[in-house]
Amino acid sequence: MATFSIKIRGKRNDGYYPVYICVNHKSKPAYIKTSFVVSDKGLKKTYTKEGKEKTEVSDRHVVRECMNEIAGYVRRLNGIDSRDMSVQEVIEYLTNDYSDPSFTGFSNEYIAGMTVDGRGHSALNYRMAVKRLHEYMNKTGILFSDITSGVLRGWIDSMMDSSRKRNLYPTCIKAILASAMLKYNDEDRGIVRIRHNPFSKIVIPKAKQTEKRSVSIDTIRSFFNTEIPGLYEREEMARNVCLMVFCLAGINTADLYDLPLDALENGTLHYRRKKTRDKSLTGSYTEIKIPERILPLFDKYKGKERLLCFSERYVTAMDFASVVGKACRRVCEKAGITEKITPYSFRHSWATIALNECGASMDDVAFALNHVSAHRVTSIYIKPDYSRIDRLNSLVIGRVFML
């Protein structure tokens, strides 16, 4: 257990002595500077048992205030296990603010970190979840202790209009809380700044199954083959991007945006799927041979810093996806297509055609889409045969374009 004493260490140029609280732990001293100073009149000479002279603070007011601080330090140390702590760790614990931390401040830092890590799309969902929680609680600043299970139940019930929000937003808040508890709590030493987990009594509602976004083969043909006079540059790009998505086994626009310069080698694309590369034990690596139908597009949209120029035209992958999505709607209007089509529609459509029209197995479709494998550990031991994707992709493209 640490011991405390009141000390001075040196005289300032103005003739006063700053007062310190000396913390001695494991026979090693360290000092906490107080706000007090004393003059020579506030000191006295005393002697140790061995007869050695020493100087002590005698100012009654300063001694009383310092003893109050020491009493507070003792109470705080009594609440934790400090046996394995160094004297500097003890000082850090005693001098840091261990009041209830701010959820608002931490969530802002957490979301900013997601953006820096390239998780901009997810960061938007988290930002919206935090915003909606603040709106529900009618507060601009929320402490973690403010978020109770009762508050969460009421908040979830207030989102009855959207099953997606009732699932997504609480899931985001739960992830932020889990990260904060790792940062602020050290149960091994009894340091617990976030004292309760409100989600321990909450069952987050499940989201409804995602609506199928695939479109028919005839619609796909109309989208790509209809002659549209006066097609603007963005609309032409959007149609070309969708063709690349479809002909590359449903590759995501985020991956087209993010492809490095060395991703293309001998006509084969090598990349790691951005959405799941940090979740998969294999890093979501995949390979696919570029079909001849879209090879010219890689020259048309050749980039300087990345394989394709989309990252040079748009600040983020989300901006790129948004522009392509809006242009898709205009293409549909001009082509007389009434169905809602986005670039993601072609990923869903590719999978549906592969399964229903080309006789592929569900495992083959999942492998081609670069989904995280259900056999996660087993997949580490097996060298994948990416030609399976090429063969299936040829069947799907041939089925649609009558090759």
Average pLDDT in the chain: 89
pLDDT averaged over 10-residue windows placed end to end, the chain, 403 residues: 91 93 93 94 87 90 94 86 85 77 93 83 90 94 93 94 91 95 82 86 80 84 88 92 96 94 94 72 82 96 95 90 93 91 93 94 91 53 82 96 77
The pLDDT value recorded for residue 375 is 45
In three-state secondary structure terms, 305 is coil
pTM value? 0.61
Residue 222, Cβ density class (10 Å: 0-12 exposed, 13-18 middle, ≥19 buried): middle
Residues in CB range of 353: below 8 A, 6 or more apart: 214, 217, 396, 399, 400
Domain 217-401: give its CATH code: 1.10.443.10
Cross-strand bridge partners of residue 345? none
DSSP 211: P
Beta-strand (E) ranges in 26-182?
A: 28-38, 43-47, 53-57
In three-state secondary structure terms, 73 is helix
All structural domains of the chain with their residue ranges = 3-95, 103-201, 217-401
The pLDDT value recorded for residue 155 is 96
User: How far, in Å, CA of 316 to CA of 324, rounded?
Assistant: 13
The pLDDT value recorded for residue 70 is 93
H helices present in 185-309, as ranges: 217-225, 233-247, 253-258, 295-300
Residue type, 191: I
In three-state secondary structure terms, 22 is strand
In three-state secondary structure terms, 274 is coil
The pLDDT value recorded for residue 211 is 56
